[in-house]
Structure 1
Amino acid sequence: MDRSGEGKREEELGFERLAPFVCECEPLSQEDLEAIDATLQSSLPKPSTTNNNNNKRPFASHSPPRRSSRRRLPTSLIALQLPPSLSFSPSPGHLKTRLPVMKFCGKIMYSRTFTDVEKAVTKFLKIIEEKKRDMIQIPIGFDIEWRPTFKRGVPPGKTAVMQICCDTNHCLVLHLIHSGIPRNLQLLLEDSSVLKVGAGIGGDASKVSRDYFISIKGVEDLSYHANQKLGGGPNKWGLASLTEKLLSKQLKKPSKIRMGNWETPYLSKEQLEYAATDAFASWFLYQTIKDLPDAQEVADKSIEVDGAPQQ
């Protein structure tokens, strides 16, 4: 049966349906298209000249191109039709993605007089007692600050600030250089059931003991704790390096704050946030590290699996 007539009729009907969408304008000549193409090509970013075997055309087809009698649009016009998200050229000002910043977002309880420190510690102890209902040993993030010295032979200042944190909501910043250590704070520091955690905390505990003649008990160094879990040799981890390694966040340590005057009559907002974040990071890191399996246990299980008889 001859269907050539039907095919021709279907083609004519197809053009009739497309008629409302056809742009009624004069067709562009070849010279017009070449001129447009040259203008647009000059405004597009130059392709990289780096010799890379992986530099292939996006959406390249492995089938041979079809021949067509229709006039093709300039390649520059086709490129401009692609959405920005499909651009395969790196932005000239592209910067390396930075890690999110670690920051304490809870309530900072700042105290600078003997009475205020005593009251703040009393409230903190009530929170600790509530947590003891569920845990035998309560971890708190612990850190201290003091005024540095830049003269040879001059010892560093006395412990000026102590910060302690027990969760995501509460952090004490105690300005000890003005208040001293009340009796209830001393009892907290000497309570071994309250675990004080921090990076290099042994040195901090010794300094507090020398400065205020008290003994801090229940101390655990995050660096030692991390080495037990991570393996790979004894590494001396700092608080910032552990935060980056385990939490994928950056702990900012600006020198103007870290090496600033912690004996000032009143701490600035920046100093308070810095101090609270350090104590919070210590507490949070302990929660993260304690849930990790020991490196030796992982190695032993790996040996058991490798040594299992093959089926």
Structure 2
Amino acid sequence: MHPAAPPASSPAGIEVDDDFHWDDAAEAELQAIEAAYASSSASAKRRRLPDWTIPSPSSRPRYSHSPVSGGSTPSWVLSPHTPLGSVRASYQPISFSGKIVYCRTPSEVEKAAMDILGKIESMKASGQVSLGFDLEWRPFPRRGEPPCKVAVMQLCMEKTLCYVLHIAHSGVPPILKSLLEDSSSIKVGICINNDARKMLNDYDVCVQPLMDLSNLANVKLAGPPKRWSLASLTEIITCKELPKPSNIRMGNWEAYVLSKHQLQYAATDAYISWYLYEVLQGLPDYNAEAEIESVKAT
């Protein structure tokens, strides 16, 4: 539970705006700084500020039930009391903007699993298919009860569509079990071995094969190995922030019907897992010794 961003023309399913934009308060503060600078020296020439533009409204994601309003925050935040030199950039939030198929009955889950298996069958001739995989469950059991079972499973294998399966209500039909145990698709995510172990304990499903994105990142990216989170890996690969609001992450995933915010959160995690895997797989393995020799040669 737990390189560069795609260009604006990319259909990768990620909302892409300008790298940063300014609000009215930021512009006013810059104008004040500009005026103070000009008055400090009679010979200083006043610099011309650019014409700041307001970014176009973000696109609204499409749902199989109802939409969630999107939104973005400025990448740079200035207040009237911000000391000079302390301005810091923050990343734009990232969110899945494709269609979310929410399934909560056995028949809906069966149909989703069949759809995914059909797509895998049509794609596997070109190699193993990657499947973004993530789970959610209620983190705090009621007093005296065992740990909560997995309540929600998210699966994503493309930029425009993500499945959110509410297995707390549907259970795991045989066709979904077959999908999860099928070696034609590699299930990818952060700490995915722990998720697979929980599925085995909770539903007797052996999810395989698996690829932990943290391990893959340590093979592909420069620097000492580290334990990556999905949020930190998203930042380094896409230069975007993966929001993790605790009221959603730690919320009730066993609810009768998931909220629109829960659906958006769940779909984004599975989509980002799939997307990061695709990006990392396309990178050459990092060779520290070769890089050291290259530096010495220069």
Q: Same fold (TM over 0.5)?
A: yes
Alpha-carbon shift at residue 307 of structure 1 (Å): 5.5
Work out the CA distance in 1 between the residues paired with 2:264 and 2:276. Answer: 18
Work out the CA distance in 1 between the residues paired with 2:123 and 2:207. Answer: 21
Matched with 2:169 is: 178
Conserved? CA contact 1:103–1:277, under 8 Å: yes
After superposition, give the CA deviation of every residue in 1:198-218 in whole Å (9 maximum; x if it has no partner): 011110110011000111111
Conserved? CA contact 2:130–2:157, under 8 Å: yes
Pick aligned residue for 1:205 from 196, 199, 206: 196
Instruction: Determine helix, strand or coil for the equivalent of 1:158.
Output: coil
Alpha-carbon shift at residue 49 of structure 1 (Å): 12
The verdict on how the C-alpha distance between 1:58 and 1:233 changes in structure 2, with shifts beyond 3 A counting, is same
Structure 1: give runs of 5+ residues left out of the alignment.
1-43, 60-78
Matched with 2:115 is: 123
Work out the CA distance in 1 between the residues paired with 2:93 and 2:137. Answer: 24
The verdict on how the C-alpha distance between 1:303 and 1:103 changes in structure 2, with shifts beyond 3 A counting, is same
Q: Tell me which structure has the larger Cα radius of gyration.
A: 1
Structure 2: give runs of 5+ residues left out of the alignment.
1-33, 52-77
Instruction: Determine helix, strand or coil for the equivalent of 2:164.
Output: strand
Alpha-carbon shift at residue 233 of structure 1 (Å): 2.5
Instruction: Indicate whether 1:299 and 2:269 are aligned.
Output: no
% identity of equivalent residues:
45
Alpha-carbon shift at residue 234 of structure 1 (Å): 2.5
Matched with 1:285 is: 276
The verdict on how the C-alpha distance between 1:47 and 1:229 changes in structure 2, with shifts beyond 3 A counting, is same
Conserved? CA contact 1:144–1:204, under 8 Å: yes
Q: What does 1:124-203 align with in structure 2 at a 5 Å threshold? A: 124-133=116-125, 135-149=126-140, 155-203=146-194
Instruction: Determine helix, strand or coil for the equivalent of 1:132.
Output: helix
**Paired AA for residue 250 in structure 2:** M
**Paired AA for residue 127 in structure 1:** K
Alpha-carbon shift at residue 303 of structure 1 (Å): 1.8
TM-align CA RMSD? 3.1
The verdict on how the C-alpha distance between 1:57 and 1:262 changes in structure 2, with shifts beyond 3 A counting, is farther
TM-score (norm 1): 0.68
**Paired AA for residue 303 in structure 1:** E
Alpha-carbon shift at residue 304 of structure 1 (Å): 6.0
Alpha-carbon shift at residue 245 of structure 1 (Å): 1.0
Matched with 1:108 is: 100
**Paired AA for residue 90 in structure 2:** R
Conserved? CA contact 1:208–1:214, under 8 Å: yes
Instruction: Determine helix, strand or coil for the equivalent of 1:159.
Output: coil
Matched with 1:232 is: 223
Work out the CA distance in 2 between the residues paired with 1:188 and 1:91. Answer: 52
Conserved? CA contact 2:141–2:148, under 8 Å: no
**Paired AA for residue 85 in structure 1:** P
Conserved? CA contact 1:149–1:155, under 8 Å: no
Structure with more relative contact order (C-alpha pairs < 8 Å, separation 6 or more): 2
